[in-house]
Amino acid sequence: MRICRDAGMRLVGPNCLGIVNTAASLNASFLPGTPSAGRLGLMSQSGAVAAAVIDRAEGVGLGISSFASVGNKADVSGNDMLEFWEDDPATEVIALYLESFGNPRRFGRIARRVSGKKPVLVVKSGRGGAGDRAVRSHTAAAATPDAAVDALLRASGVIREDSVRDLLDTARLLVHQPLPKGGRVAIVGNSGGPQAMTADACEQRGLSVPELSPATRDALSAGLRAAAAVGNPVDVTADGEAAELAHAIRTVLADPDVDAVLVVYTPPFGSGPVATKEAIDAASRGSGKTVLACVLGDDGLIGSRVPSYAFPEQAVHALGRAVEYAAWRSRPADVVVEVPPVHALAAREIVESELRDHTQGGWLDYPAAARLLGAYGIRVAEAVPVGGREAACAAAARLGPPVALKATGPDLVHKSDVGGVRVNLDGVEEVGRAYQEMADRLGTAMTGALVQRMAADGVEMIVGGVAHETFGPLVMAGMGGVTAELLADRAFRVPPISDADAGRMLGELRCEPLLRGYRGRPVVNTEELRAQIAGVGRLMDDIPEVAELDLNPVIVTPAGAVAVDVRVRLAPAGPRPSPFLRRLR
Amino acid sequence: MRICRDAGMRLVGPNCLGIVNTAASLNASFLPGTPSAGRLGLMSQSGAVAAAVIDRAEGVGLGISSFASVGNKADVSGNDMLEFWEDDPATEVIALYLESFGNPRRFGRIARRVSGKKPVLVVKSGRGGAGDRAVRSHTAAAATPDAAVDALLRASGVIREDSVRDLLDTARLLVHQPLPKGGRVAIVGNSGGPQAMTADACEQRGLSVPELSPATRDALSAGLRAAAAVGNPVDVTADGEAAELAHAIRTVLADPDVDAVLVVYTPPFGSGPVATKEAIDAASRGSGKTVLACVLGDDGLIGSRVPSYAFPEQAVHALGRAVEYAAWRSRPADVVVEVPPVHALAAREIVESELRDHTQGGWLDYPAAARLLGAYGIRVAEAVPVGGREAACAAAARLGPPVALKATGPDLVHKSDVGGVRVNLDGVEEVGRAYQEMADRLGTAMTGALVQRMAADGVEMIVGGVAHETFGPLVMAGMGGVTAELLADRAFRVPPISDADAGRMLGELRCEPLLRGYRGRPVVNTEELRAQIAGVGRLMDDIPEVAELDLNPVIVTPAGAVAVDVRVRLAPAGPRPSPFLRRLR
């Protein structure tokens, strides 16, 4: 590396297979042969996986523009390759096999930019690994390394695949066909069973197989035999000739309510595979729409541009990914609301003052946490900190019952698990008794308590943030309550988070119907909830010293969203530069 | 069919590819060639899929004992084929591609018997399809056709695969290798990255990759170069020769704490693919343990008995299925508790008396439902039916507050959604006011109410049953509460259900930790809960007239499990014969 740097050279590897650039007729690799020229840029951290992928790609007519086996990435990394392919006219689709991220935040920024121009597919091995068990907030515990990778890739528009088989299936659709404008699929074929399988797979994948219009059905019937089915799927029957299949393909492609056509051909019926493939190839030209085929048992390429898959689920998987990516590409640019500098400065002062007193950081007390969150527009329920039974009673009398009483103490984190929370206390004496009972039971762990007016009933959510050592800040939104926690109903994002991002996070939750008036419940104020999620994103992005943060629960009612318990832990900021400070300077 | 029946012949098809029997050198099919002889029995409802599967199987060294394309199944069905293969010495593994079930209950019985002798793999297409929207119990709404298929296959020990690619991967392990005794895997190979991927995949799949014993590590070191890693994975390094790999395989096979060995070989390193495969073949003989390989990029067969997979996740998937199937095979026989005939007769009398009065069936009132369930040992909370405000107050006074008040009426099914449930009513006047308010709001829909003493706090579960038109009875257990319902945290089984089955159903629930004392909560009485699940199974099996049944919620406390609300709908029994009546006759 030193020699290369001094000489102004780049170094690939070590521990790699080398590089290939088919446009430059360069093969500086240990591969057994030279891959065919094509439009896929391929990078792999594992030489062995790369060799297998190239071998498979060759078999299905998928050529390579350039290939780099980067091995241990002493110099050239995935980020470098992305930047190279970004402007490489020979490369239309990018595929990465990753075992690790060197600089995930930089990867995220570059991948987001590149994904806006060309599809980026990633297989990241090593999905396992638990969250950090030493942390004590729900958010930090839930943010496993894989959740962080997923959030990073999702925010960047990257197409994440679980296996290289899936990656190849998706890549060859994206290389050969235009992006679909939507998810409305017409299925055309010669055999009912496999076409029904395909329709089922579409439904499961969230693609629609809509009824065709009367005009399209009439046009289909005009060119097909009487036994043909002209609904969707369109079945030309096993006797249907290649010309009939071509007529059906052209007709559904002309329907403005069809975004993509999936041809399911069962050989050797009709005119046989050779003539049928020629007909599929010819009929699919010039429409500008996405056409792909399942020729049962036959993974390959029809003509020079229609990918064929051996089994329906492969074709449907690839089409589903293409539809999702196209939707991501066509989204309007998100506007992330900025926090007024005066508020951000106030927040910074709170953090710096705390870290002056506690140089190693630690958990903020409730009032400090509430002030910090308030600077970012996050509403936190009023709470009166009290140091003893008398003060608790006085606070309850002032707030008016019913109230909640929550034990506080530097080591009391999961306080509800140890009986440190009492709710719905209806009178002042009840508060006094509850305080005494808690103090007797928790002993010196309890140094005081908070008295809060009971929140109105609503949907319990959790919103949180965690500063991941390598991935940077992550924001979580999830359903609250112990059941939802066990069921891990939560969504992660990398900030910045726009209002639309926050809405999409909520949309990913299986419990989301609860917010929309499920079974007679009221529709609640998701606008304020989205603002809280976006606010946490802004805060996590601005203040790297916030190590973990839970708003748990956030009670969402028709009137608004308010956090009734909060936990914020500060830690001295590491080397990660604060975007907030960058903005101020 | 008539001609065949008259002649005592069987008919395959119509609309099929025909049949093959390699042992008899018979090929009466439209297949382009004759498959190689082997030990897989293959049946397909789709000729197209079958041809593709056979082509793929040929490519990976998987031969066929016999094959039937059954098409529209006018006569010969999957059930017939299962019974043929059950005693066919040429067939060791059975694979079915199904599009529909003719007689699912019969299939379940036969498949369960056959699965006890030979693995049965099934791909069932058409996972889509909603539950019956006309039904009104939670159980019936949740029991989609696919949930029913899944429960049927699971109860039968069938290995269900999502795609024929997965089916082939699993089948060739089961055909070529002995069943694993457990899920402890040793990974041996020559390249760190792919081996780490394999270990990750094992962890995700629930297979363990345990530390090797000091004795095994010493034995490994004795035959490997110094750079080799002797943990698990065992890495002989890229320079490691075939003999070293063989030494490593033999050594881990000799470790009594290893159930299966997965060899991950990255070609062309070491001694090259040919010599290495020979070494893998030789080293894996004679141990009686499961050996499989991932030779990167190479789907095939090493020697005559070690399947090789192109990518680690395929090998791990196949091994995971084999471990699950082996565990199912080695389970002790379940004992299903029978209900004493006198109680079963009492239940039958309740049902017959109701159906005399209401020949079209309908919802039972609470007392009748409670009596019916009580006959099957299912505890239901006491409830006093009342017809007006005065009676409600009297009942509340008798039971002692706090009580719950639940509106009743023939059309009040989702009564909590319309405000027909009030809980924690603390005094007699409060009950009177609540009754009046409900009656005013619900109008004639409310014909009375139930007054119940409030149940103790506990874990809320739902247990239910539904008589599926084609699949017969299904039993469901799930977490209660609106969140769990949205998250669809539930398990289904086909009765009969043993105590162990009920325990496994609970084990499948993601919320199951709540029953075991999650985060400071009490451990509850799952024994009574299991008994309720098994009781519902017995009831559904005995009384085909029970169309749908909900115990919702069942409150489970350390003291026991009690259903505090129940719904039972009767319908005149269809042609399905009642096993109960069979037992009595």
Looking at the structure, do residues A490 and A531 belong to the same domain, yes or no?
A: yes
Contacts of A479 in chain B (CB under 8 A): 483
Contacts of B32 in chain A (CB under 8 A): 268
**Is residue A85 one of the residues assigned to a domain?**
yes
Residues A24-50, mean pLDDT to the nearest whole number: 93
Bridge partners (DSSP) of residue A468 are A472
**Neighbouring C-alpha atoms within 13 Å toward the C-beta of B341:** 7
What the block records as the tokens of A12 is 């690939």
Nearest to B296 among A52, A510, A513 (CB): A52
Q: In the structure, what pLDDT confidence band is assigned to residue B128 with cuts at 50, 70 and 90? A: low
Structure confidence at residue A551 (pLDDT): 95
The residue of A125, A264, A415, A556 whose CB has the most chain B CBs within 10 angstroms, and thus the best one to mutate to test that interface, is A125
**Is residue B538 one of the residues assigned to a domain?**
yes
Q: In the structure, what pLDDT confidence band is assigned to residue A32 with cuts at 50, 70 and 90? A: confident
What domain count does chain B have? 4
Q: Give the chain A residue whose CA is nearest to the CA of B30.
A: A268
3-state secondary structure at position B64 = strand
Query: In whole numbers, what is the pLDDT of chain A averaged over residues?
Result: 91
Looking at the structure, do residues B160 and B16 belong to the same domain, yes or no?
A: yes
The beta-carbon contacts of A208-213 under 8 Å, at least 24 apart in sequence, are A208/A183, A208/A184, A209/A184, A209/A185, A209/A233, A210/A184, A210/A257, A210/A258, A212/A186, A212/A252, A212/A255, A212/A257, A212/A258, A213/A255, A213/A257
B543 or A143, greater pLDDT: B543
Query: Where does a domain end: B454, B469, B502?
Result: B454
Question: Residue B392, Cα to own-chain centre: how many angstroms?
Answer: 45
| Buried/exposed A486-504: b ≥16 CB within 10 Å, e otherwise | bbebbbbbbbbbbbbbbbb
Residues A303-309, mean pLDDT to the nearest whole number: 96
pLDDT digits (tens, 9 = 90+) for A285-295: 999 999 999 99
**Is residue B347 one of the residues assigned to a domain?**
no
Residues A96-101, mean pLDDT to the nearest whole number: 89
d(CA A87, CA A83): 7
Proportion of chain B above pLDDT 90, given as a percent: 70
**Is residue A335 one of the residues assigned to a domain?**
no
**Is residue B357 one of the residues assigned to a domain?**
no
User: pLDDT at residue A577 above 60?
Assistant: no
Q: CB distance A49–B194 less than 8 Å?
A: yes
Looking at the structure, do residues B316 and B405 belong to the same domain, yes or no?
A: no
A268 upstream amide cis, omega within 30 of 0? yes
Looking at the structure, do residues A213 and A246 belong to the same domain, yes or no?
A: yes
Query: Where does a domain end: A329, A346, A365?
Result: A329
Strands B561-563 and B159-161: unpaired
Nearest to A125 among B46, B56, B200 (CB): B200
pLDDT digits (tens, 9 = 90+) for B310-358: 999 999 999 999 999 999 999 887 778 788 888 999 999 999 999 999 9
Q: Give the chain A residue whose CA is nearest to the CA of B56.
A: A297
Contacts of A267 in chain B (CB under 8 A): 48, 51
User: pLDDT at residue A119 above 70?
Assistant: yes
Looking at the structure, do residues B125 and B145 belong to the same domain, yes or no?
A: yes
Q: CB distance A127–B191 less than 8 Å?
A: no
- Which residues are CB-neighbours of A541 under 8 A, at least 6 positions away? A473, A495, A496, A579, A580
Structure confidence at residue A139 (pLDDT): 85
Nearest to B52 among A51, A297, A417 (CB): A297
Q: Give the chain B residue whose CA is nearest to the CA of A72.
A: B193
Is A215 within 8 Å of chain B by CB?
no
Query: Where does a domain end: A146, A170, A194?
Result: A170
**Burial, A585: exposed, middle or buried (Cβ in 10 Å; 0-12, 13-18, 19+)?**
exposed
Contacts of A193 in chain B (CB under 8 A): 45-46, 48-49, 99, 125
Min distance A293 CA to chain B CA atoms (Å):
15
φ, ψ of residue B139 in degrees (nearest 5): -60, -50
Q: CB distance A311–B519 less than 8 Å?
A: no
Q: What CATH number is given to the structural domain containing A23?
A: 3.40.50.261
Q: CB distance B268–A32 less than 8 Å?
A: yes
Min distance B518 CA to chain A CA atoms (Å):
9
| Buried/exposed A174-207: b ≥16 CB within 10 Å, e otherwise | bbbbebbbbbbbbbbbbbbbbbbbbbbbbbebeb
Residue pair A477/A505 in contact by the 8 Å Cβ criterion: yes
Structure confidence at residue A228 (pLDDT): 95
Q: CB distance B127–A32 less than 8 Å?
A: no
Nearest to A128 among B128, B204, B483 (CB): B204
Strands A384-386 and A566-570: unpaired
Question: Length of chain A, please?
Answer: 585
Contacts of A268 in chain B (CB under 8 A): 32
User: Which one-letter amino acid corresponds to residue B494?
Assistant: V
A340 upstream amide cis, omega within 30 of 0? no
Q: CB distance B125–A200 less than 8 Å?
A: yes
Looking at the structure, do residues B61 and B140 belong to the same domain, yes or no?
A: yes
Contacts of B267 in chain A (CB under 8 A): 48, 51
Q: CB distance B514–A482 less than 8 Å?
A: yes
**Is residue B159 one of the residues assigned to a domain?**
yes
Is B1 within 8 Å of chain A by CB?
no
Is A513 within 8 Å of chain B by CB?
yes
Residues 301-330 of B with CB under 8 A from A: 310-311, 313
What the block records as the tokens of A379 is 């509403």
Looking at the structure, do residues B419 and B465 belong to the same domain, yes or no?
A: no
d(CA B282, CA B273): 14
pLDDT digits (tens, 9 = 90+) for A510-565: 989 999 988 878 999 999 999 999 999 999 999 999 999 999 999 999 999 999 99
Looking at the structure, do residues B443 and B481 belong to the same domain, yes or no?
A: no
Looking at the structure, do residues B437 and B467 belong to the same domain, yes or no?
A: no
* Residue B126 domain boundaries: 2-174
| Stretch (H or E) spanning A508 | helix A499-508
- Tell me the count of A-B CB pairs closer than 8 A: 153
- Which residues are CB-neighbours of B262 under 8 A, at least 6 positions away? B185, B186, B187, B188, B198, B202, B291, B292, B293, B294, B315, B316, B319
User: pLDDT at residue A578 above 70?
Assistant: no
Looking at the structure, do residues B119 and B225 belong to the same domain, yes or no?
A: no
User: Which one-letter amino acid corresponds to residue A488?
Assistant: A
Which of A489, A81, A161, A164 minimizes the C-alpha distance to A325? A161
Contacts of B266 in chain A (CB under 8 A): 47-48
Contacts of B163 in chain A (CB under 8 A): 311, 313
What the block records as the tokens of B568 is 């039972």
Contacts of A489 in chain B (CB under 8 A): 483, 487
Q: What CATH number is given to the structural domain containing A477?
A: 3.30.470.20
pLDDT digits (tens, 9 = 90+) for B384-435: 999 999 999 999 999 988 999 999 987 776 777 778 889 889 889 999 999 9
Residues 27-46 of A with CB under 8 A from B: 32, 45-46
Other Cβ atoms closer than 10 A to B102 = 12
φ, ψ of residue B557 in degrees (nearest 5): -125, 175
Strands B234-235 and B185-189: parallel
d(CA B66, CA B48): 17
Residues B179-190, mean pLDDT to the nearest whole number: 97
d(CA B529, CA B554): 8
**Is residue A345 one of the residues assigned to a domain?**
no
Q: CB distance A48–B296 less than 8 Å?
A: yes
3-state secondary structure at position A516 = strand
pTM: 0.87
**Is residue B494 one of the residues assigned to a domain?**
yes
Looking at the structure, do residues B21 and B157 belong to the same domain, yes or no?
A: yes
Looking at the structure, do residues B17 and B158 belong to the same domain, yes or no?
A: yes
Q: What CATH number is given to the structural domain containing B389?
A: 3.30.1490.20
**Burial, A476: exposed, middle or buried (Cβ in 10 Å; 0-12, 13-18, 19+)?**
buried
Is A130 within 8 Å of chain B by CB?
no
Is B462 within 8 Å of chain A by CB?
no
d(CA A420, CA A399): 20
